Chains A and B, each alone.
Chain A
Amino acid sequence: MKNRNFLGILFFFTYMCPALAFYFGADTHGNAPKFDPAATAIHHISDANIYTLSDGVIPFRIPLPTILYSPGKGWDFFSSGKFHAGEHEDGHYAYNGYVLHHGSVHRVVDSGFPMDQSVDIGHHAFTHKQEDRNGKKVDVNYVTYQGKEYRLDARSTLDGGILGGGITSFYDFSISKNVLSMILVSLFLFWIFRKTAKAYKDHPDKAPSGVQGIVEPMFTFIRDEVAIPFIGANKYMKFLPLLMSIFFFVLGLNLFGQIPFLGGTNVTGNLTVTMVMALIVFVIVNINGKKDYWQHIFWMPDVPVFVKPLLAAVEIMGLFIKPLTLMLRLAGNISAGHIAILSFIGLIFIFGQSGANFGGGIIGTAMAIPLTLFMMAIELIVAFVQAFVFTILTASYIGAAIEEHHHAEEHHH
């Protein structure tokens, strides 16, 4: 009976999805736009200045507080609702010289554009061209206003141009989709854990019940399998809150991104977030580093003298590679999961030729649904595994930093 229901749901979606795809394709121009799966996937895993729950038949977008700073112009604080975002999270209005393109704020840099008022730029005002910058091909966006194209700047990034970004004419300090997701997940975890802590306080002699039953196994697992073995039974209590914070923060955000119809936020797949966490780990590890730790880095004991500088070079590199791998591993894994799911869903649109081919859409859907289900199951495991891996590596780095060896004593003999 259960199997039959399941198949029924499967068939329902198999017919529904191409129908929706057809609707999307046909609604705007009459002629279907070409579907670009890679760009769509990247768009969906990116941070945004608007929280889109539905971009389809019934659009549902939550405007977010936008906080922008432009060195020449000063601060701008307004709701991203001012952009009147439409399809593909493109704003139909410009506000104080800022526009919303693919969910992220851009600034008009060419002169002549009205810089201190709200103007209607209409639908489909954005175009992009490839330009050479320092011998690299770079995409540059333009907005068309009253028949004239104006060049757009993306927000400043800290990659120094390596990843195609760099410092531009403005900085974006908005409460973005990722920031809001972090706040929501933090509040949810706070609520859950305060409830748990209260239960322990109110009924210390009772067997765990309710939410305690979910929290306690994970809590004791991190304590007994991560904190104590790597840091030691005497010192682990000092670092336990950090390890728990990392584990539950990452796990909460990983899982939040997996919930369908909640925007599919990709917070832990965002390099900025993992960079900040890796940076915190880097700082905590190195300010707690004992004499032995630094000795092992700069002047490795128990090896011939000519090897010592060689090892020092490797160890100093390792000092920075460790947090770098933390940062890349988490972001890569979570983003990859999101991209895989988006790619499978993209099959519907590829086979359906963006709604032009209904039969192809059915074939695409029949393939996409089981593949997506499979991927979601994998991602559920990945959510836990990556939170665990980040935590266990942090614990092992801290453990290595505070470990007391006895090489020094042996040398005196």
Chain B
Amino acid sequence: MFSLISFTPFQPTPGLALWSLIIFLLFWFIMSKVAFKPIAEALSKRENDIQDAIDTAKNTKLEMANMKAENEKLLAEAREERSKIIQEAKDIKTQMITEAKDKAREEANKIVTNALSDIENQKKAAIAEVKSELGAMALSIAERVIRKELKGNAEQEAFVNTLVKEVNLN
């Protein structure tokens, strides 16, 4: 009843061969353009992107660690700097105070010295004046006295002036 041979699928038939050739070649051509190439490219692009992202993250982490170390270093340096500055300031302060004190003392001494010399000068002037006054007074007294006793005696007058000068030099 059934004939095995007439419809066996193992006989290559030209019609099916032609159609499978056309269909497969078209499938290959169209799918390459529409799907396989774009998908392959998209996949490799995505893989590269992921790799890049991982690399970037790694680098960033490394950089962050470096930055942290650097920051700490900077902080330490800053701290050191600060204490140095403070120390310096303290030193300067002490120095300034000392200097100021010295200067003040010097100034005071100078003032005192000046005052003393002024006083001395004044004193000397005053004494000179007093001496001069005294001389004049003594002369006038002596003049009157002598005028009374030794009227017109020039020798006697010179002798009195000499005496007055001796008093002034003292």
Taking Cβ atoms with an 8 Å cutoff, the residues of A that contact B are 33-34, 36, 38-40, 42-43, 45-48, 67, 101-104, 106, 128, 138-139, 141, 154-159, 163-165, 171-176, 178-179, 182-183, 186, 189-190, 193-194, 196-197, 200-201, 204-205, 215-216, 219-220, 223, 237, 240-242, 244-245, 248-249, 266, 269-273, 275-277, 280, 331, 335
Instruction: Check if A241 sits within 8 Å of B37, measured CB to CB.
Output: yes
Give per-residue flags for B100-133: 1 if the beta carbon is below 8 A from chain A beta carbons, else 0: 0000000000000000000000000000000000
Secondary structure type dominating chain B contacts? helix
Instruction: Check if A197 sits within 8 Å of B39, measured CB to CB.
Output: yes
Q: Which 10 A-B pairs have the closest CB atoms?
A: A39-B2, A193-B35, A200-B42, A241-B32, A139-B3, A46-B7, A157-B11, A164-B5, A173-B15, A165-B11
Chain A contacts for B36, CB-based, 8 A: 193, 240-241, 244-245
Instruction: Check if B14 sits within 8 Å of A271, measured CB to CB.
Output: no
Chain A contacts for B25, CB-based, 8 A: 280
In angstroms, Cα B11 to Cα A218, docked, is 33
- Beta-carbon nearest neighbor of B45 in chain A: A204
In angstroms, Cα B19 to Cα A56, docked, is 30
Taking Cβ atoms with an 8 Å cutoff, the residues of B that contact A are 1-21, 23-28, 30-32, 34-40, 42-43, 45-46, 49
- Beta-carbon nearest neighbor of B3 in chain A: A139
A-B contact pairs, 22 of them (CB 8 A): A34-B1, A36-B1, A39-B2, A40-B2, A42-B2, A43-B2, A43-B7, A48-B7, A102-B2, A102-B6, A139-B5, A165-B11, A186-B23, A189-B31, A190-B35, A193-B35, A200-B43, A271-B9, A272-B16, A277-B20, A280-B24, A280-B25
Instruction: Check if A245 sits within 8 Å of B32, measured CB to CB.
Output: yes
- Given known pairs A47-B13, A176-B16, the reply for A197 and B38 (CB within 8 Å) is yes
Chain B contacts for A173, CB-based, 8 A: 14-15, 18-19
Chain B contacts for A158, CB-based, 8 A: 11-14, 17
Task: Tell which of A39, A183, A249 touches B1, judged by Cβ atoms closer than 8 Å.
Answer: A39
